[in-house]
A and B are shown apart, each in its own frame.
Chain A
Amino acid sequence: MQLILAVTDPLEHVLPHTYFGTHVTLFEHVFPINITNHTIMIGVASLMMIFIFPALFSKPDSNAPSGLKNLFETILEFMRNEVFTPCLKEHTDAFLPFLWTIFFFILFCNVLGCIPFPEIFTLLSGGTIQHLGGTATGSINTTATLAICAFLFIHFQGLTVLIRDLKHGTYGHKSHDGLRTHPLGEGDEYGEHQPIHGKKMSTGQAIVSAPFIYLWNFAPHPFKEVGLWADLPMWAGLLLLELVGAVIKPFALCMRLFGNMVSGHMVLAALVGLIVATPSILAQIGIGVPIMPLDLLIQLLEILVAFLQAYIFAFLTALFIAGAVAPEH
């Protein structure tokens, strides 16, 4: 009975529990390295992905898909056609592996956290195995790593596409209009820069000038007709806002995923803890009768939130990649 009391403490339910901890000392700072139950769940989710997807999709197959292959193909096709293609119109297929991987990793982590593995293993083993399982994305370290991966990918791809455009001389062209260029001497209403018509840079020139052009493209270019000095404060403010936003948007991704995953489990554990905390057995039955259906409904909501948060993370990452790779001219 005591061990069941222990696992209904809402905070302990969601905190990571170390299985194997060690310390690494670098430059007189001690870095702890812990293998926690969240780390094990990351490993489980990754192994599931490594075993499922190549087994299902390695051979091109012209039959109609069925069973598990149908399920995954539906989700993959829906994400590609309805979510990623409207954002990244022509760059979709280049970034699709990363976006699909992020979506399915977060999905598997979230759904594996909804299955109560810790309690199952504790009951089956009579109390010896504790906390073997949990929500991997319910640890701020996991979601921060995912957000850092998304941040590095977004800006690396922005720079890479810019370098490729500079090398081929297609920078400033709208490729979905069939390489129509701005005629010289005519600016758009925002005073756009004149595109570099067909000027091919060498690789070294492109790599050196790409970060500056990338940063220059963050904010709308200052007006040329109104006068540079009249527009400079607004441009500086917008540039600062965009630069801060480039850091804050992945941070918000991390916090959103973490908060959604942790709060669901904590509410559930707190409600179950209400039952255990009541003194007499009659009161426990009395309060348990409304709480159990409520917990079931909250668990269903949590499954919905698991799918939704994976979708939101992938969709927002695609949106940020689109903003970095093809800034609206």
Chain B
Amino acid sequence: MTSMLMTLAQADGDKALAVAGAAIGMGIAVLGAGIGIGRIGGQAVEGIARQPEASGRIVPNMIIAAALIEGVAFTAVVLSFVLTNGLK
């Protein structure tokens, strides 16, 4: 993979490497979001399995927590896209 990055850097100078770094950064940010939201979903489903009557209270809280984490992931994706001038 490093040889691919070196080829990219020699081809176009700094812009190509910056965009490649942005793409890698986006992937890592989404990785964290996936882990977090997966944990929330799992714990919520486990809570519903223990007490099915509480599902009406658990599900909105799960959705809100998932949206908060996803907000951070989207911030990372948007900023890594915009700050490397991918959106001219």
Residues on A lying within 8 angstroms of B by beta carbon are 11, 15, 140, 251-253, 255-256, 258-260, 262-263, 308-309, 312, 315-316
Contact A252 B70 (CB under 8 A): no
Contact A252 B71 (CB under 8 A): yes
The CA-CA distance from A263 to B30 in the complex, in Å, is 13
Contact A259 B64 (CB under 8 A): no
Chain B residues within an 8 Å CB radius of A258: 74, 78
The CA-CA distance from A263 to B63 in the complex, in Å, is 19
The CA-CA distance from A101 to B79 in the complex, in Å, is 28
User: If the complex has contacts A308-B67, A309-B67, A312-B67, are A252 and B75 also in contact, measured as CB distance less than 8 A?
Assistant: yes
Per DSSP, chain B at the interface is helix
Chain A residues within an 8 Å CB radius of B72: 252
Chain B residues within an 8 Å CB radius of A312: 63-64, 67
Q: 6 nearest interchain CB pairs?
A: A259-B74, A256-B71, A255-B75, A312-B67, A252-B71, A259-B78
Chain A's closest residue to B63 (CB) is: A308
B77 is an interface residue with CB less than 8 A from chain A: yes
Chain A's closest residue to B77 (CB) is: A259
The CA-CA distance from A150 to B23 in the complex, in Å, is 32
The CA-CA distance from A258 to B73 in the complex, in Å, is 12
A to B contact number (C-beta, < 8 Å): 40
Contact A255 B67 (CB under 8 A): no
Contact A256 B77 (CB under 8 A): no
- In B56-88, the 8 Å CB interface with A consists of 63-64, 67-68, 70-75, 77-79, 82, 87
Chain A's closest residue to B72 (CB) is: A252
Chain A residues within an 8 Å CB radius of B63: 308, 312
Q: How many B residues, CB 8 Å from partner?
A: 15
Enumerate 10 A-B pairs (CB-CB under 8 Å) in ascending A order: A252-B72, A252-B75, A255-B75, A256-B67, A258-B74, A259-B78, A260-B70, A260-B74, A308-B63, A312-B67
**CB-defined interface of B27-61 with A at 8 Å, one 1/0 digit per residue?**
00000000000000000000000000000000000
A10 to chain B, nearest CB (A): 12
A124 to chain B, nearest CB (A): 30
Q: Which of A15, A255, A309 contacts B78 (CB 8 A)?
A: A255
Chain A residues within an 8 Å CB radius of B79: 255
The CA-CA distance from A144 to B51 in the complex, in Å, is 41
Chain A residues within an 8 Å CB radius of B74: 255-256, 258-260, 263
Q: A256-B71, A263-B77, A308-B63 are in contact. List 17 more A-B contacts (CB 8 A).
A: A140-B82, A252-B71, A252-B75, A253-B71, A255-B74, A255-B78, A255-B79, A256-B67, A256-B70, A256-B74, A256-B75, A259-B77, A262-B78, A308-B67, A312-B64, A315-B64, A316-B68
Chain B's closest residue to A83 (CB) is: B60
Chain B residues within an 8 Å CB radius of A315: 64
Q: Which of A15, A255, A263 contacts B71 (CB 8 A)?
A: A255
A247 to chain B, nearest CB (A): 13
B88 to chain A, nearest CB (A): 10
Chain B's closest residue to A315 (CB) is: B64
Chain A residues within an 8 Å CB radius of B68: 316
Chain A's closest residue to B73 (CB) is: A259
Chain B residues within an 8 Å CB radius of A259: 71, 73-75, 77-78
